[in-house]
Amino acid sequence: MLLDLKLPKIDGVQVLEAMRADEKLREVRVVVLTSSKEERDLVRSYDAGASAFVVKPIDFSEFIKAVADLGVFWAVLNEPPPGSAKVARERINAGGRV
């Protein structure tokens, strides 16, 4: 999810804190996308649970790297433990051995 810190009626960090407090939204990865270059905004964002912090105007390569890092994070997080039944089934379905 992309989240700006400067929203019309609420601070983006407050939105992020509410997401982290909600069981259904807690694991959603959030990239803070903001025009703020203030260190305190960066620190507040990461303290509230941001996954990445990108300053506008966007350096496209920086933005792509932040999104790619999130993809790697989720791939590792969702990797089944070695020897699990899911891994065995995937290997069998792929024509390999367990």
Domain over 2-93 is classified CATH 3.40.50.2300: yes
Is residue 53 a contact partner of residue 42, using CB atoms and an 8 Å limit?
Answer: yes
Q: Which of 5-9, 16-20, 72-76, 81-85 has the highest mean pLDDT?
A: 16-20
Q: What is the pLDDT of residue 98?
A: 46
Domain boundaries, the chain: 2-93
- Give residue 55's pLDDT: 87
Q: What pLDDT does 78 receive?
A: 57
Q: What is the mean pLDDT of the chain?
A: 81
Tokens of residue 26, six digits: 């807690």
User: How confident is the model at residue 64, as a pLDDT?
Assistant: 81
Whether residue 57 has a cis bond before it, omega within 30° of 0: yes
Length of the chain: 98
pTM of the model: 0.62
- pLDDT for the residue numbered 58: 80
Top pLDDT among 72 and 5 is at 5
